[in-house]
Amino acid sequence: MVDVLLSTLNAKYLHSAFGLRYLYANLGALKPRAAIKEFDINLRVSDIAEDILAHSPRVLGLGVYIWNATQTLELVSILKRLAPEMIIVLGGPEISHETEAQTLCALADYVVCGEGEVAFRELTVQLLAGERPATKILHPAPPEITELQMPYAEYSEHDCQHRVIYVEASRGCPFSCEFCLSSLDERVRAFPLDAFLTQMESLLAKGVRQFKFVDRTFNLQIETSRKILQFFLDRYEPGLFVHFEMIPDRLPAALREIIAAYPAGALQFEVGVQTLNTDVEKRISRRQNQERMAENFAFLQTTGVHVHADLIAGLPGEDLGSFERGFDRLEAMGAQEIQLGILKRLRGTPIVRHDAEFSMVYSPLPPYEILKNTTIDFATLQRIKRFAKFWDVFANSGNFKETVVLIGRRFAPFMMFSDWLYPLLGKTWGISLHRQYELVWDYGCAQGWDKADLSLRLLHDYGRSGRPDHPAWMLEHLSAEERTALPRRAPKSSLPKRQARHLENAP
């Protein structure tokens, strides 16, 4: 039993709730009376409710995000029927905008919009003292970042060994891209660097080797970026993996030199390209220098950096032809992974100003994806969604590094593969790895590819996935000499699996 329970539903068990740890770290004198309890969206909501009720909290703080909004609504509905005396406080980006119109917020007792570390503590002190503030929806000013307690001591030993560890050196974004919530917070605030690096040292001492920075613009302040990169390079050992979100067109010499010094696979850059249509860029208030971005991609290809690039379908005014050209240009730049996203109408973002001109129609349910507009219809967006899922399975995964070249890494040939797959499967998920290899074989045979060449490529890819066996049907078209030369298993890597498959020579 605790007085204050902090909880949320993560998208996966592997994830850790960074926001909850911030709230807990800043509870001050209330910390001994509080606890964190995390769940994930794959669990039954009734079981989650049972677990929460077993703790008998007086105050329950729930983090609400686009991926758990539906389940959280169900959870709060159940809890309010079973334990109406429990005070439920909501926080998180999903309920921080257009709050009054949400059924979930109507059910809750209080809602803290925006950054809530200080506001939640102050509210909880009042609630536990028996005071019930009259104002239900709170809009606190962002806290002074230098006064916040950092949350890294709240990562347990289990977290450090088994979960994604999130860190941040700054908050905010100076850009105004209309589809993004970060555009609402244009003031970038940095944590004191020395104190931050001390915390990173403590995580390394706990055994953390994979760090995911959530800063929206890590390479905005070049000197700070350089010092953080140098910090991790100085402490490099096999298994270290650091993820940053990067501004695509900002990679000066001061950063290039240190980036080039990193061993292959130790760095991952998530590069938000989003669109390569200059008219669409202007329309959504996105600023990026495409020529400089292409130069930066060319440089990154000479390094061991693993590049994960983002592209969005459904932006106002971008049709299928424009999206295809953008995809092909981005693929030619050499990113190991391209994540294709569908435009989402996030609460509070100014993308809604285009609704009338482009007849933007969004799903009313999370994650609020675009259904159609004047330049791209529903059926086409459905095809792109399937393309995105299959691209992730067959291209981004690294499991088909050699055979995906035969399928085609450009938009049109891979769309042909996607259009062939979907009627056959009737789904885009839950496809076993063995079945994936069989599908590539069947597709290759239907296209008339050379069976011996396809077999050899499939076997190389199969070995890259870590499987020790060689399926008989893959061996059928190979000579005895070719069979003897096949590797039995990919060498073990200390990197995350996808990065290891893309970067075969990484340690």
Residue 342: which CATH number?
3.80.30.20
- Domain assignment present for residue 381? The answer is no
Q: Tell whether 11 and 36 lie within a shared domain.
A: yes
Q: Tell whether 361 and 266 lie within a shared domain.
A: yes
Domain boundary among 317, 346, 376: 376
Name the pTM for this structure. 0.93
Q: Tell whether 423 and 322 lie within a shared domain.
A: no
Q: What is the band of 507 on the pLDDT scale with cuts at 50, 70, 90?
A: very low
What is the overall mean pLDDT for the chain? 95
Q: Is the pLDDT of residue 384 over 80?
A: yes
How many structural domains are present in the chain?
3
- Domain assignment present for residue 383? The answer is no
Q: Tell whether 345 and 456 lie within a shared domain.
A: no
Both tokens of 51, joined, read 């677990």
Q: Tell whether 417 and 502 lie within a shared domain.
A: yes
Cα 10 to chain centroid, rounded: 12
- Domain assignment present for residue 145? The answer is no
Q: Tell whether 367 and 409 lie within a shared domain.
A: no
Domain that holds residue 230: 155-376
Separation of alpha carbons 107 and 243, rounded Å:
38
12-28 tens-digit pLDDT: 999 999 999 999 999 99
Q: Tell whether 372 and 487 lie within a shared domain.
A: no
Strands 170-171 and 189-190: antiparallel
- Domain assignment present for residue 149? The answer is no
List the alpha helices (DSSP H) in 312-450.
320-332, 355-358, 378-391, 403-407, 411-425, 433-447
Q: Which residues contact residue 473 at a Cβ distance below 8 angstroms, ignoring those fewer than 6 apart?
A: 441
118-166 tens-digit pLDDT: 999 999 999 999 999 999 999 999 999 999 999 999 999 999 999 999 9
Helical pair 45-55 and 69-82, crossing angle rounded to 10 deg: 50
Q: Tell whether 182 and 121 lie within a shared domain.
A: no
Q: Tell whether 473 and 359 lie within a shared domain.
A: no
Q: Tell whether 188 and 297 lie within a shared domain.
A: yes
Domain boundary among 376, 405, 422: 376
Angle made by CA atoms 365, 368, 371, in degrees to the nearest 5: 105
- Domain assignment present for residue 390? The answer is no
Q: Tell whether 294 and 341 lie within a shared domain.
A: yes
- Domain assignment present for residue 63? The answer is yes
Both tokens of 99, joined, read 């709050």
- Domain assignment present for residue 148? The answer is no
- Domain assignment present for residue 54? The answer is yes
Q: Tell whether 130 and 199 lie within a shared domain.
A: no
Domain boundary among 346, 376, 406: 376
42-64 tens-digit pLDDT: 999 999 999 999 999 999 999 99
AA letter at 146: T
Q: 166 near 212, Cβ under 8 Å?
A: yes
DSSP-derived 3-state class of residue 465 = coil
